[in-house]
Amino acid sequence: MPHPLDEYPIHQAPLSLAHVVSSDRNAYDRCYFNAHGRSGEPFLITGLGIYPNLGLIDAYATVGIGGHQISLRASDVLDGHDRLAPSVGPFRIEVLEPLERVRLVCEGDAQGIGFDLTWHGSFPAVDEEPHVWRSGPARRVVLDAQRFAQVGTWEGELRVAGQRFEATHDTWVGTRDRSWGIRPSGEPEPPGRNEEAPIEGFWWLYVPLRFDDFSVVVIIQEDPDGYRVLNDAVRIWPASTGRRPEQLGWPRAEIHYRSGTREPTGATIHLTAGDGSPLTLEVESLGFVALNGGTGYGGDPNWTHGTWRGRDWVSGLDVDMADPAVAAMVPFGLLDHVGRATLDGQEGWGLFEHGTFGRHDPSGFVDFGSVAP
């Protein structure tokens, strides 16, 4: 049967829009948002994903506040859901003006989180470099995705832990991305021959930032030996200038870790402007949300994106970050920090996302137990 979207001239393959071109079970289509003031708390991370070959839709929201991560997750079958007005459980997303304004609503107060927030893009959304990652002895493509990123401001309200926070454009900022393609989702696949050659390590840095006159997006992924498999650094100017994104060369990142850990306190990122002059981006962490502590991203023991939990599943979670079991888990997932930054004489705000586990030669980490001196 045709899909309602088949009425529109947006096809990219001789296939109904009820289906995706790839038969890979890991096909996905997802959005991610974060929202925060300039103190670093509360820090909201939320998103919604569709997994067409798994037949699922899910969403999550996690708020870091008072040493806790309070989360709400929802999942349902994809059948019958309107892709142009995605919703699941208490979550819904309204695209008010594509690439400019998006409204997020969560009516999950009974489970601990509620919000009604409208996003306003401050600068044009920018395409990131295509992300292809091969892994395992067969060098199979496990991630093949496209993503765009944007920085912006928020208005509305967030309700969490019995408190209400008002967001205004001059006080609350954030970043967002949209990605789609192939990405590990749902229940784990059998390891097979991969047991012979487990992953030695992983190193990741993602820094989208909003300044008064421009935005910056830096994204890097490296193999254990430091070989860079993803590299992108651009400065985005206001649409009114008519300027293309400015490529900022081959970024060199110095991550500053808390002694005896792999928890970053900040970073110094060396960039190169389009005219060849050096730029130094300094980023400071004002607090973080651990993505494996309720958001459903990789390594989360509570729930992961695309897993089957039955129809109309909604669940709340309160994670005490001081719990020793939680503290032991945190180093093995990505940390999303509220980042305060300086560049070219301006102060900026945004996301400072970093994770490294296992071996990474440039950092001096030799195995999963290595920490900063």
For residue range 95-150, list pLDDT tens digits in order: 999 999 999 999 999 999 999 999 999 999 999 999 999 988 888 899 999 999 99
Helix (H) or strand (E) holding 326: helix 324-329
Rounded to the nearest integer, the mean pLDDT of the chain is 96
> CB count, 10 Å around CB of 94?
14
pLDDT tens-digit series, residues 15-64: 999 899 999 999 999 999 999 999 999 999 999 999 999 999 999 999 99
Rounded to the nearest 5°, which phi and psi values hold at 119? -90, 135
Dihedral class, residue 329 (left if φ above 0, else alpha if ψ from -120 to 50, else beta): alpha
Residue 292 and residue 319 in contact, taking contact as beta carbons nearer than 8 Å: no
Residue 196 banded pLDDT, cuts 50, 70, 90 = confident
Lowest mean pLDDT of 30-34, 73-77, 173-177, 328-332, name the range: 328-332
Residue 272 and residue 281 in contact, taking contact as beta carbons nearer than 8 Å: no
The 3-state DSSP class for residue 119 equals strand
Residue 173 and residue 153 in contact, taking contact as beta carbons nearer than 8 Å: yes
| Residue whose pair of structure tokens reads 């944007």 in the numeric block | 150
Q: How far is CA 67 from CA 188, 292, 329, in A?
A: 30, 15, 15
Structural domain boundaries in the chain: 27-187+200-363
Burial of 21-59, coded b for 16+ CB within 10 Å and e otherwise, reads eeebbbbbbbbbbbbbbeebebbbbbbbbbbbbbebbbb
Q: Where are the beta strands (DSSP E) in 27-167?
A: 27-36, 43-51, 56-65, 68-77, 87-88, 91-97, 101-108, 113-121, 126-127, 131-135, 140-160, 163-167
pTM of the model: 0.96
281: tokens are 């981006």
Residue 77: which of 303, 297, 317, 306 has the closest Cα?
306
